[in-house]
Structures are given as C-alpha cells and as structure tokens.
Amino acid sequence: MSKDVYVIGVDYGSDSVRSVIINARNGIEIAASVFEYPRWKQVLYCDAAANRFRQHPLDYIEGLELTIKDCIAKADADVAKNIKGISVDTTGSTPVAVDTTGTPLALNAEFSENPNAMFVLWKDHTSIKEADEINKHATKFETNYLQYVGGIYSSEWFWAKLLHVFREDEKVRKATASWVEHCDWIPFLLTGGNDVKALKRGVCSAGHKGLWAKEFDGFPPNDFFASLDPLLDGFTSKLPNETYPADQAAGNLSKEWADKLGLNTNVVIGIGAFDAHMGAVGGQIEPYFLSKVMGTSTCDMLVAPINEVGDKLVRGICGQVPGSVIPGMMGLEAGQSAFGDIYAWFKNLLAWPLQFLDNEEQRKSIESKIIAKLSEEAAKLPLHDEDELAVDWLNGRRTPDASQLLKGAISGLNLGSDAPAIFKALVEASCFGARAIVDRFNREGVTVKGLIGVGGVARKAPYVMQVMADVMNMPIKIHRSEQTCATGAAMFAATAAGIYANVEEAMNAMGQGFDAEYHPKPENVEYYAKRMKKYEAFGKYLEVNGQ
C-alpha cells in the first residue's frame, strides 16, 4: 500500500472509552482520546454490596462522539477525508434491554433512571442464582447446550442476566423487544439502525456468551428456555439465527453520525466484538500462544487451526467459537474475574484514611504512588515456604470452572504481616490463577506454547510480570502498543473496509511488535511450583468449607 489511509478503533473499557486514529498502511497511531464515563464515575446505578454494576447508555454515546471528534481535531485535515472504517470492541457480556427500534430502554423517559433498563456490565453478578439454575437445567437435555462454553454457564453472561432482569422488573420485561450486547449495539447505532430485527449480531458475543452455535442451528431451541422459566418462552424468536465475524461490515456510517463526527457516509462500520478478542489481534496473537489481556480482570485468548482442535472441548473455559478472534480459526477464551481489581482493592484499603486529608492534591499524590511502592518493596522480600498465601477469587472465579459464589482469602497472617508481604501474596495469587488456566488448556490437549501480555497491567507492572513468568515457568513477551484493544479494532476496521483481504494481513502490516520480555528466574521457579500446589489445596478447601 503506497497511499496513506486511516481507520478508527474504538475500545469500550469498564471505566472509559478510548478511540484511536491509525494509519492503516503502517499501524502508526495518529491521534488518541480517552473519555471517562461521568455517571459511572459517580457510582450511579451501582450497588457493589449487591454485586450490581450498571452503566447508562448516555455514557457510551457521549464518549463515542467526544473521543472520535477529539481524535479528528488532533489530526491533519487530510486525515479525516481519508478515514475508511470504524470498528468497535466492548467489555462483555454487557447486554441491555431494547425496544423495537433497537433503542436501549434507559434512553426512554420512563426508564431513564432504572438500572434494569441500562447496560448490565460484565462484572455484574446479580444473576448468580439464574446461572446456577441454567447449569442444573442443562443436564436434563440429551444435547449438551453448554458444551461450547466450557460446560458451565456464568452469571457474567447474556441469558443469566436477561432472566434476572425479567424476574426482577416486570415493566422492563414487558417493554423489552430484544436483548443486545454492547458490542453489537454500537455498530447498529453508528449505522443509523432503527429496527432491532435488522441488527447484526457478532459471532464473538453470541457464541461465547449467548450459547449460539452452528451445531444448534443458532441459539438453543425455545423448549430449553421455556422449560427453564416461562418468562423466556418465545424469546429466541426475537434473536437472529445468523451471526457475523468481525472482519465483515455492519453497514456504513449514517448521515446523522457522519454530520456529528465530521466524516462522510462512505465510512464502513465493522461488526463488533469483545475487547479481549480484538485486543488479542491488536497484540499480534499467534497460534497456541495465550494472549493475556490484563486490566481490571483478565481475558485470555488462544487461537488454533480448526482442523487441529477437531472435536476437543476444553472444560471450564469461557467458550470456543470458530471465527470469534480470527475468522477461519478456533477462538478459545478463558480469564480471571479479578486481576488489576485485586491490586486496586488493596490500594483503596490502605488509602482509606487519606480521605480525611484536607489537601486533595496531596491525597491524590500519595494514592498514585501506593502500588509502585508496594511493588518495589514486595520485590525485595525473600521467598519463604511459610509466606502469606492468598486465593484470587475476590470477584468470584471465571476460569477454570466458573463460580461467582467463591470468595478470595488470605492465610498465614501474623503480627509481622505488613503491607508489602500481603501485596506479594495477592500478586502471587493472581499469577497462580493465571497458571491454573494454562494447566487446564494443557491437560485438555490444547497446548499453550507461549504467552503474550497486553493491556495496562502488562505494560505498567514489571513486578507482576516477573512473578507471572516465574509462576508460569515460561517467558512472557509484552506488546508495544499502549492501546492494544483499540488497535485491534482498527485492524478489523481496515479489513471490513476492504483495505486488507483478511485480518492476518492487517495484523502483519499494522502490528507494532513487542518491546519487553520477562524470563523466569531459575532460582524462583521451584519456590513457585511448591506454592502453586499450596494455592490449589487452599482453593479446594475454600470451595468445600469456605463459603
């Protein structure tokens, strides 16, 4: 490609949305912009004690417009004229109830302050009961409808959340024409969609969270859901049988949004997908390399040739779906419900007294240094068998074997247990949880050959990454990109717009490579191998006795 053409990648995270303009010829970032959700920042519509985390669609819409316009303002005038595509990734499963026009109910005056009419964020665990019922219910059928999601359905996912909202809120239930994932709704919005029946669903969201499978001719049959709860009777008729990979187009930018953004209606809008799936592409995933997208939680992605995976089904993961990451390859997803969230929790615990400081600037300055100082001091600690030991299930367990009922724990505390020692135990626990995922893949016959780290924790936490390498006894290479998920979205935008024939071509041309690699320290590997066994034993004890 000799001519500069540009694409936009939009990445919706848990706390903010970020957009980037990227030169599709060489992957160079032209501009970037981040928008923190104002309503979310005020903790509106959430109740952490009840595991309820909801986000208002206005946070998403305002952030979409402001970040793209900001990027365009930062770029040269010629850039805007040559933007060819926009693709979007989001957290997931983050669904919302919509009306017949595909409008989220919270955008209607009647439901504007109703959390049940808003997007149910991935980490919302209000539907633990419903997920448990789905798991028990599935055993009654000759066809195993959970076989492609690791055999266990999670409260973080599509159907459990839908059933919970329907049971809790009759008004929302009666007004709901369909239930739509965030990553499918944003492309619908940008293309000017006004009929929910025409909304294109991505295979990524439908396959990994919605139980869609080609083998089922779409979603499980109505009988599966109607016999689970009559409230779901007939709901599958409101969902399409066809789904699409993210290298395809959802349509073109609508005139309304073209006018808002200062673009033209020739801009192609790609099918949406989840952040980790596009982030794995942005991080230049390789077959059998586990791409670890590390942020508040982790999403671990692995791709392999479909013919090599064959009929292997990996138990206890978050699904294996053909084409969900790279079209033409099997995409396998795992992850941890809390990762960076664990460190943030401990930081907030230590910082609690700082809220009483009158000097806000001083408070923020101290808070910003806590994790870095803890990491520095924890790295100096000698390694002993009797060190404090933690289990990382502070937000439940995603994989292997999802259970949001589980809780985190710390053992071995004594009067000498100081903040760095406890932080060390928490970091080790998060790495042991990551090791459990690798061990599960290996035992199930899908061998992990290497590790790729992407995301904020991977780039900004060298102590955590070194412990990760030691625990895994495997090198981990860190991708150079600051905005890996948004970059992955841009790669898909370039493919959907026809700039590249396939995602692999876009990834090779636009990828920025790796700028760090952590290797296991031989003197630490044996220590962590012993500690891993203790972690597993501690976890088993908690599962049986600790709840």
Domain locations in the chain as residue ranges:
6-283+481-512, 340-479+516-545
The SS3 call for residue 374 is helix
- The per-residue pLDDT for 447 is 96
2, pLDDT greater than 80 = no
Q: How far is CA 118 from CA 79, 127, 181, 209, in A?
A: 35, 15, 11, 18
Average pLDDT for the chain: 96
List CB contacts of 522: < 8 A, sequence separation 6 or more.
none
Residue 147 · residue 122 · CB < 8 Å: no
pLDDT digits 0-9 by tens, 317-337: 999 999 999 999 999 999 999
pLDDT digits 0-9 by tens, 380-437: 999 999 999 999 999 999 999 989 889 999 999 999 999 999 999 999 999 999 999 9
Kindly state the average pLDDT of the residues 55-65.
Answer: 98
List CB contacts of 111: < 8 A, sequence separation 6 or more.
105, 117, 171, 172, 175
Phi, psi torsion values for 53, nearest 5 degrees? -135, 105
Q: How far is 205 from 325, CA to CA, in rounded Å?
A: 11
More confident site: 92 or 9? 9
Which residues lie across from 11 on neighbouring strands?
18, 89
Confidence class for position 455, pLDDT limits 50, 70, 90: confident
List CB contacts of 114: < 8 A, sequence separation 6 or more.
105, 106, 169, 171, 172
Which DSSP letter does residue 218 get? Answer: B
Confidence class for position 77, pLDDT limits 50, 70, 90: confident
Buried b (16+ CB within 10 A) or exposed e, 372-390: eebbebbeeeeeeeebbbb
Query: Can you identify the CATH homologous superfamily of domain 340-479+516-545?
Result: ATPase, nucleotide binding domain (3.30.420.40)
- The per-residue pLDDT for 1 is 62
The SS3 call for residue 93 is coil
- Spatial CA neighbour of 519 closest among 461, 476, 488: 476
pLDDT digits 0-9 by tens, 282-316: 999 999 999 999 988 899 999 999 999 999 999 99
Q: What is 6-283+481-512's CATH topology?
A: Nucleotidyltransferase; domain 5 (3.30.420)
pLDDT digits 0-9 by tens, 195-235: 999 999 999 999 999 999 999 999 999 999 999 999 999 99
Q: How far is CA 243 from CA 24, 218, 311, 345, 430, in A?
A: 26, 8, 22, 38, 34
547, pLDDT greater than 70 = no
DSSP, residue by residue, 197-214: GGPPPBHHHHHHHS--BG
